[in-house]
Amino acid sequence: MIYKQVTIASTDKSLRELLIALLSEADYEGFEETNSELHAFITEEAFTEESLHDILQTFGLNYTVATIPKTNWNKDWESNFQPVIVSGFCTIRADFHEIVVHTPYEIIITPKMSFGTGHHATTQLMMRMMQEVSFRGKSVLDFGTGTGILAILAEKLGADQVLAIDNDEWSYENALENAGKNDCHRIHFALGSLESVHETFDVILANINRHILIQYMEKLYHVTCADGTVLMSGLLVEDKEVIVQAAEANGFNLKAYKDEQNWIALCFVKN
């Protein structure tokens, strides 16, 4: 699978957040922000110039498109990547970082053509939500695992078994590698999507985007155990109402809510 990287020049943080929301709806799978640019990633198969133009023409923005080979998605990652610390809870670092870890949990990753280094607010929101959920002896589904960070953390928090799925081959391979780096033995990784899942789980982790969450809301309900918990993110503040409506229409109740930098995470329980 080949990816396209779209680079959009914008110094407006609020505009970049709006673009992320719009591009997520158009099947873009990952994003990187700098002070002056937004980098958006989409599979070559899903990319269309017409769709991109329709989204950006309203804002009068310039952009460039590049093809990303099957290599590390950020060639400068090792020199630029800094450890991520969720205060008092978990440290995410690369294996080349030599730091003193002061949190009870530590995750070592090397992301390749998969997304989720722990830097994005949604990943950190999910981890903060996970800090408040009991994983001891539980079964867990990580839907859209990416680099495998949340699945790895679930095992470290005491989950009895974890199923981590992703429909991207590079994410699948990278998550396997990262699980090995963290000496994980209770995670089963699968290449695919929710259609292939038939068992039920005590806890479901879904850090994806609004479009995918709404598409699979009914299926998420069916694969959640009675009184089970579902954590959702990849969402902007303005997504809250539509996600809560969709979740409640399918039998979930909203239990908790967190926000950071205009991003949100939601915790639902199954009726």
pLDDT single digits (tens) 50-91: 999 999 988 988 899 999 766 555 455 555 667 888 989 999
Q: What angle do CA 212, 213, 217 make, to 5 degrees?
A: 120
Q: Domains of the chain by range and CATH?
A: 3-68 (3.30.70.790), 77-270 (3.40.50.150)
Best CA proximity match to 237, nearest among 213, 212, 215, 257: 257
Provide the β-strand partners of residue 264: 235, 259
How far apart (Å, rounded) are the C-alpha atoms in residues 43 and 228? 33
pLDDT single digits (tens) 190-242: 999 999 999 999 999 999 888 899 999 999 999 999 999 999 999 989 899 99
Q: Are 2 and 44 in contact (CB under 8 A)?
A: yes
Task: Show the tokens assigned to 139.
Answer: 């079964």
30-39, 46-55, 209-218, 262-271: least confidently modelled range: 30-39
